[in-house]
Amino acid sequence: MTVETVAERPARTRGALGRAAASPLARLVARRVLIAIPLLLAISVLVFALLEAMPGDPARNQAGMDASEEEVAALRAQMGLDRPAVERYLGWLLGALGGDLGRSSVSGQTVSSMLAERMPVTLEIVLLAFIVSLAVALPVALMAARKPGGLFDRAVMVSSMTLLAIPNYVLALLLVLVFAVLLRSLPAIGYVPLADGLLPNLRSVTLPVLALSIPLACFYARFLRGDLVEQINTADYVETARAKGLGPWRVLWVHAFRNSSFGLLTLVGLNIGVLVGGTVIIEQIFAMPGMGTMMLQGAMSRDVAVVQACVFIFAAVAVFANLFVDVMYAVLDPRIRYGSH
Amino acid sequence: MNITASRPRRSGRRAGALAATLALMLGAAACTSPGASGAGSTGGGDPQSGGAITVLLDAGFSGGWPTGLDPATSSSVGANMGQNSAIFGGLFRIEAAEDGSDAEVVPDQAESYEYSEDGLTLTVTLREGIEFSDGTPLDARAVLWNWIRALSSGSVSAPRLSLDLERETPELEQAFLDELFAALPEDVDRDLVMQRLGAIVAVDDRTLEIHLAAVNGALVNSLPGTNMNFIASPTAYAELGAEEFAEKPVAAGPFVVVKNSLSDRLELERNPNYFKEGQPYLDGLTFQSVAGDQVAYQTLQSGQGDAIEGLSSVTLIGQAQGNPDVTVTPGAPTSPYVVQLNTRKPPFDDRRAREAIYYATDFGAINEGLFNGEGDMSQSFTASGGLFWEPEVAGYREYDPEKAAELVDELGGLTVELGTTDIVTARSVTTALQQQWGEAGIDVAIEAKPLGDVITKFTSGDWESMLQTAGAWEPAAGIGVDVRFGSTSPYSGTPLPEGASTSADALERGLRTELDDVLASAVATIDQDERRVRYQEAAKIISDEAYGPFGMAFSPAQVARAGVHGPGLTTPIPALAVNTAVLYDEVWVEQ
């Protein structure tokens, strides 16, 4: 047995790190992370500038119509609006880098504590919506692609197009009408935390998750079905697989799907931002105390710290989701890792 | 002679009678619509104890309480009347007859009030033996602590009191002062606080005096809509600290806070210490914020809500009236729409242009088309549910498109920018106005903006005409007639006083217009009949000078599931500002 001395360990670690640093995958990740940082910084500047450029006075807005100029001026000072914009932005940025996202100018609560309370709600909805949409889209697309033009395929194409044409908020209201008003089987609004029981929690999130995942599932199913059909009809490797005597399901699942999954992966990455953004409306409709509602309330009251933090997190999720997709690409396809594609 | 009142003197009998007639007509109209049930009547027999209800509130208005529920620091006291009256009760409250008429402010936690003969001192006597839910007494000391906080903590919901700050501050216990200053902002003007403590005095355990620098005949009427009405426990504040207190205030109202998620959900349960025997009837009361009327109505239909405070969508109100499972109670209308015209810049610095707008405007047709005729028409700044309502003003210019067209020709054309707040109903009204005015040859550009931007537009003075709602139950309170038509208000388009270059200049030099004087005199007396005469004069000046045509007042409706009853919910009570004050201690559900 080799006895590893304490002195040896750092060297070995360095060696491993060094090897990792040298690997194309690690370089790819490092490069993308380096790109993500200025991107997020630019987003934060843009959001701040947009909030600044919005017409109207947040202090006056908050103070109401019958407040005097002195009261508004005092509120403006209290909200820090009497300081130059650059100073306020830099103050926010420095705080954010140190983990301090500031305080809500409306409620006085720290933005971090507000996020800690609300982020789990949004995360749960988004994650479940993501899982449900893929869980529905994959089998549906595979079954539809097995017999293109068949009854099932046509039913999928028509119904998915119809559902895609319905705006998100209308779909949400329709779901409430059917499941809450007519059937009375699910709650129309409200969120039950997981701590209050798994079943009540799942019941409370079912409709918001459906409202978010149905359009997404339709979108994924249509895309994947189209890609699979194209692969089956045109790709040489499919012909080869068939020539080997493989059954249609095996050709579809093992060969065509593996290639189509690249396109789907890209789509999923791109759609994570859309999914997170969709929570703003959906959380509002279902009275879910999540980040979407928090951001909307912040925007309505021009609560810069709140909006800035929410938009920044939403943007970060979108950026890192895309980074994850890029990495997955590289993991699945070595040509990308080595920069040959 | 002192005027003593356990209730203020009744006024406006003629208006009351007319209001009653109109409310009955509205009620009758509601009853003739298919399936309408219970409108305008509590019904259901004797109140029963027990049960709980969930009240749905619009997230964009009363469903938002982002700064918490400490009245001294909350920025939304007026919007959150339901939550506040449920937690705090109130020194005063507004009550009305079953049809919404004869509304008046009456003492509640206060036992009575009295004006001195010169009208400069208001004495408030508290009921004996009221305790906060933490067991400490709601006495004059506690009220004084609350009133000074209400006036000194920066809340925009504080009343504008012209206190007599010249009075000597009485000797006060150091412990009280320490407790008070510990609950005030660090940068508070201590000298001003001490001056206020000279003007507001706790005479004994149950009596307080407010010494005014000028007579304010609207003071008591205004109080229930301000933060001074809501009295919290100073002991609880000291124990909980500012942040926790704002989340879970401790008071002497019918309910106590169990759980509060800001601008989301507020759960309350019966206060066993409530001073009214057998009340509240409900064991529990929850306020749930929802995204707008459609969601609120669907949630009610799903059984997750029991009542909606302030449903304003005309379509949904119509649907609800056809639903046998709910009662729909139209609000007592107080605030008519008005097109404010800015006389300080072209084109409305020319009286002919203003007259053309009056003649080109047919609010009656808009009322029929957009509000199913259920809006309450007015020619001045309150509607039938408000104080000092004048249904008709002598010489008021009514719809006459030919006259409008003649005036437009005389002016060589008229191009107008019409601003409004970007909400669906207001946009619909401006679109209708655009069409009506267009028929008289007036070219109209609509500019709908969020409220904050509308406020900015007003304060910049760079506007031509604005569609807004005017008035309130008490014209001198809230966004009342002074705010819309007083020359020095930032939201007014009436002419500046002669010789004044700006509002600030007018204020500094004490310059006033005739209308300013009349409006000031309407507040400077406690004689309500005298006030009525003054407001009639003000309405006449506004009409004669064509400062802005008035239209229909349309109040949101209260919708409750069958079996829920209560004043303000299944009978109308005029809104002090915007919201009807539901008397939640009297709300009950059939068991």
Over residues B339-390, the pLDDT tens digits come to: 999 999 999 999 999 999 999 999 999 999 988 888 899 999 999 999 999 8
The separation between CA B79 and the C-alpha centre of its own chain, rounded to angstroms, equals: 9
Angle at B581 between CA A187 and CA B34, to 5 degrees: 60
> Which of A47-51, B268-272, B505-509 ranks highest by mean pLDDT?
B268-272
B-chain CB neighbours of A104 within 8 Å are 66
Helices (H) and strands (E) in chain B, counts: 19, 22
pLDDT of residue B237 exceeding 90: yes
A-chain CB neighbours of B303 within 8 Å are 184
> Which of B120-124, B313-317, B489-493 ranks highest by mean pLDDT?
B120-124
pLDDT of residue A21 exceeding 80: no
Return the minimum-mean-pLDDT range out of A131-140, A248-257, A291-300, B243-252. A248-257
pLDDT of residue B579 exceeding 80: no
Return the minimum-mean-pLDDT range out of A224-238, B73-87, B505-519. A224-238
Q: Residue B462 and residue A66: Cα distance in Å, rounded? A: 19
The answer to whether B575 and B548 are in contact (CB under 8 A) is no
Q: Is B436 exposed, middle or buried (0-12, 13-18, 19+ CB in 10 A)?
A: buried
Q: What is the pLDDT of residue B33?
A: 32
**Cα nearest neighbour of A186 on chain B:** B302
Single out the residue of B540, B480, B489 nearest to residue B514, CA to CA.
Answer: B540
Single out the residue of B333, B328, B353 nearest to residue B343, CA to CA.
Answer: B353
With a CB cutoff of 8 Å and minimum separation 6, the contacts of A94 are: none
Q: What is the pLDDT of residue B578?
A: 67
For the segment A54-83, what is each residue's pLDDT rounded down to a tens digit?
A: 766 777 766 666 666 777 787 788 777 888
The half-sphere exposure of B239 on its side-chain side, counting CA atoms within 13 A, is 10
Inter-chain contacts counted by CB atoms under 8 A, chains A and B: 109
Nearest CB partner across the interface for A63, out of B64, B68, B156 = B156
Q: Residue B386 and residue B573: Cα distance in Å, rounded? A: 10
A-chain CB neighbours of B291 within 8 Å are 284-285, 287
Rounded mean pLDDT, B264-285: 97
Per-residue DSSP letter, B181 = H
Confidence of residue A31 (pLDDT cuts 50, 70, 90): confident
Rounded mean pLDDT, B204-211: 98
A-chain CB neighbours of B325 within 8 Å are none
Beta-carbon separation of A297 and B295 below 8 A: no
Nearest CB partner across the interface for A173, out of B64, B288, B298 = B298
Q: What is the pLDDT of residue B162?
A: 92
With a CB cutoff of 8 Å and minimum separation 6, the contacts of B200 are: B144, B147, B148, B163, B208, B209, B210, B211
Q: Are strands B465-469 and B110-115 parallel, antiparallel or unpaired?
A: unpaired
Confidence of residue B28 (pLDDT cuts 50, 70, 90): very low
Beta-carbon separation of B75 and A71 below 8 A: no
The residue assigned the tokens 């001003």 is B192
Beta-carbon separation of A177 and B298 below 8 A: yes
Beta-carbon separation of B298 and A71 below 8 A: no
**H or E element that contains B170:** none
Q: What is the pLDDT of residue A67?
A: 67
Single out the residue of B104, B94, B100, B95 nearest to residue B27, CA to CA.
Answer: B100
B-chain CB neighbours of A188 within 8 Å are 295, 298-299, 302, 304
The answer to whether B126 and B111 are in contact (CB under 8 A) is yes
Q: What is the pLDDT of residue A338?
A: 54
Rounded mean pLDDT, B243-264: 95
Rg of chain B on CA atoms, in Å: 24
B-chain CB neighbours of A176 within 8 Å are 295, 298-299, 302
For residue B197, CA distances in Å to B137, B201, B231, B560 come to 20, 6, 17, 44
Q: What is the pLDDT of residue A61?
A: 67
C-alpha distance from A314 to closest chain B C-alpha (Å): 22
Q: Residue A317 and residue A301: Cα distance in Å, rounded? A: 24
**Cα nearest neighbour of A285 on chain B:** B291
Beta-carbon separation of A55 and B455 below 8 A: no
Confidence of residue B2 (pLDDT cuts 50, 70, 90): very low
B192 and chain A: CB distance < 8 Å anywhere? no
Confidence of residue A3 (pLDDT cuts 50, 70, 90): very low
Q: What is the pLDDT of residue B518?
A: 97
Quickly count: other Cβ atoms within 10 Å of residue A46's Cβ. Answer: 12
Mean pLDDT of chain B: 89
The answer to whether B329 and B562 are in contact (CB under 8 A) is no
Q: Residue A255 and residue A76: Cα distance in Å, rounded? A: 63
Nearest CB partner across the interface for A189, out of B64, B288, B452 = B288
The answer to whether B442 and B416 are in contact (CB under 8 A) is yes
Q: Residue B296 and residue B302: Cα distance in Å, rounded? A: 10
Q: What is the pLDDT of residue B470?
A: 74
Q: What is the pLDDT of residue A256?
A: 72
Dihedral angle over CA of A171, A176, A179, A183, nearest 10: -130
Residue among B186, B244, B245, B262 with most chain A CBs within 10 A, to mutate: B262
pLDDT of residue A194 exceeding 60: yes
Nearest CB partner across the interface for A65, out of B289, B303, B479 = B479
Confidence of residue A133 (pLDDT cuts 50, 70, 90): very high
Q: What is the pLDDT of residue B453?
A: 77
The residue assigned the tokens 């005409």 is B465
Return the minimum-mean-pLDDT range out of A198-202, B150-154, B494-498. B150-154
Q: What is the pLDDT of residue B39?
A: 35
Q: What is the pLDDT of residue A1?
A: 39
Confidence of residue A108 (pLDDT cuts 50, 70, 90): confident
Q: Which residues pair with B467 in a beta bridge?
A: B339, B420
For residue A327, CA distances in Å to A271, A339, B102 come to 17, 12, 73
Q: Residue B206 and residue B217: Cα distance in Å, rounded? A: 23
B459 and chain A: CB distance < 8 Å anywhere? yes
Quickly count: other Cβ atoms within 10 Å of residue A74's Cβ. Answer: 17
Q: Give the ranges where B250-324 is alpha helix by DSSP (H).
A: 292-301, 314-321
C-alpha distance from A91 to closest chain B C-alpha (Å): 23
The separation between CA B496 and the C-alpha centre of its own chain, rounded to angstroms, equals: 27
B3 and chain A: CB distance < 8 Å anywhere? no
Q: Residue B459 and residue A257: Cα distance in Å, rounded? A: 63
pLDDT of residue B77 exceeding 70: yes
The answer to whether A247 and A304 are in contact (CB under 8 A) is no
Share above pLDDT 90 across residues of chain B, in percent, rounded to a whole number? 73
Share above pLDDT 70 across residues of chain B, in percent, rounded to a whole number? 92
Token couple for A114? 């507000």
A55 and chain B: CB distance < 8 Å anywhere? yes
pLDDT of residue B570 exceeding 80: yes
B-chain CB neighbours of A69 within 8 Å are 490
φ and ψ at A7, to 5 degrees?
Answer: -65, -30
Rounded mean pLDDT, A306-332: 84
Nearest CB partner across the interface for A289, out of B261, B449, B451 = B261
Q: What is the pLDDT of residue B50?
A: 97
Q: What is the pLDDT of residue A140?
A: 94
Which residue has better confidence, A134 or B8?
A: A134
Rounded mean pLDDT, A237-253: 71
Beta-carbon separation of B303 and A64 below 8 A: no
For residue A74, CA distances in Å to A60, A69, A102, B279 come to 10, 9, 20, 41
C-alpha distance from B485 to closest chain A C-alpha (Å): 13
Rounded mean pLDDT, B303-324: 92
> Which of A2-11, A217-226, A311-320, B113-122 ranks highest by mean pLDDT?
B113-122
Single out the residue of B366, B392, B331, B365 nearest to residue B26, CA to CA.
Answer: B331
Quickly count: other Cβ atoms within 10 Å of residue A14's Cβ. Answer: 11
pLDDT of residue B559 exceeding 70: yes
Which residue has better confidence, B131 or B473?
A: B131
* 3 state DSSP class of B555: coil
pLDDT of residue B75 exceeding 60: yes
A-chain CB neighbours of B561 within 8 Å are none
Confidence of residue A25 (pLDDT cuts 50, 70, 90): confident
For residue B260, CA distances in Å to A63, A170, A203, A284, B269 come to 23, 30, 22, 18, 12
The answer to whether B28 and B321 are in contact (CB under 8 A) is no
DSSP string, A209-247: HHHHHHHHHHHHHHHHHHHHHHHHHH-HHHHHHHHTT--
Sheet holding B307-311, edge to edge: B255-261, B265-270, B284-290, B52-58, B307-311, B557-561, B326-330
* 3 state DSSP class of B307: strand
pLDDT of residue B32 exceeding 80: no
Single out the residue of B463, B465, B451, B449 nearest to residue B361, CA to CA.
Answer: B465
**H or E element that contains A87:** helix A85-97
Rounded mean pLDDT, A176-187: 95
In single-letter form, the type of residue at position A92 comes to W
Return the minimum-mean-pLDDT range out of A196-205, B353-362, B421-430, B552-561. B421-430
pLDDT of residue B26 exceeding 70: no
> Which of A55-69, A82-96, B15-29, B514-528 ranks highest by mean pLDDT?
B514-528
